[in-house]
A and B are shown apart, each in its own frame.
Chain A
C-alpha cells in the first residue's frame, strides 16, 4: 500500500505570496492532519479533517487554511506569506479516530 504523498516536496516563495500544498492519504484513510515543523517550535498541529469536515484547528492565524475533498485528499493554503512561515509542512493520515497517524515526507517551504 502506498504511503502518504505530499506535493511539492520543495517550494520557494517570497513574502506576501500565497502557497497551496497537497496531500494524498494512504488508501482507505479518511482522516488527514497537517503539522508545521520548525527548529524553534518543533512539531505543531495545524488542523485535522475527516470526511471533508474540519474537526480541530491549532493555534495558527487565519492565513492558514485547509480543506479536504471527497476522495480524502487534502490541501492547505497559506496566504500573505511571512518569513516565519518557512518550515517543513507535514501531512499525516489515519484510518479512524485515535488511530496511528502515518506521516508523509513533508513539503519544505522557504519564504524569502
Chain B
C-alpha cells in the first residue's frame, strides 16, 4: 500500500507491485534534487533528477514528484523487481554540495 508523505526507514514490497519512497528535504533554497540507489558494497547510483521548475519527471519505470511548498520529494518505482532491492537516498543541491536524506531500505519479496 501507499505511505503518502511519510518517510519510512524500511519498505517491504511484493515483486511486481509499485513502490513509493518519500523524502523531506530541509533547504528551501535548493533548486536541484536527485534520487540515488545504493547497493551493498557500492557507491550511490544516479536514478533520476528534477529541477525546481518542475513538479514531476518520469524515467524508465521511475517517477519523481516534487512538492516545494512542503519540501517533499517522492520516488515511485513501477513493477518493482528483485534488482530494485537497495537503499534509496534523496539528495538536494545547494552551494556546490549535496545534502542527503536518511535513506529507505527497500526489500522486494518474491
Complex-state Cα separation, A48 to B95, whole angstroms? 10
* A11-69 at interface with B (beta carbon < 8 Å): 31, 33, 35, 42-45, 48, 50, 55-56, 58
Asked whether A48 lies within 8 Å of B97 as measured between CB atoms, the reply is yes
> How does the 8 Å CB contact mask read for B77-97 relative to A, with 1 for contact and 0 for none?
000000000000101010111
Q: 0/1 per residue, A69-112, Cβ < 8 Å to B?
A: 00000000000000000000010100001101111111000000
Query: What interface size band does chain B fall in?
Result: 20 to 34
A45→B43 contact, CB < 8 A: no
Q: Complex: how many Å from CA A13 to CA B1?
A: 46
* Structural contact, B100 and A100, CB atoms closer than 8 A: no
Which secondary structure dominates where chain A touches chain B? strand
B98 located at the interface, meaning its Cβ lies under 8 Å from any Cβ of chain A in the complex: yes
Candidates A42, A48, A98, A105; contact of B100 at CB < 8 Å:
A42
Interface segment, one of B10-18, B20-28, B44-52: B44-52
Residues of B within 8 Å of A90, CB to CB, are: 43-44
A56 x B95 contact (CB < 8 A) = yes
CB distance from A93 to the nearest CB of B (A): 11
Cβ of B34: which chain A residues have Cβ within 8 Å of it?
100-101
Verify B46–A100 contact, CB threshold 8 A.
yes
Any A CB within 8 A of the CB of B42 = yes
Closest 3 CB pairs of A and B: A103-B43, A43-B100, A45-B97
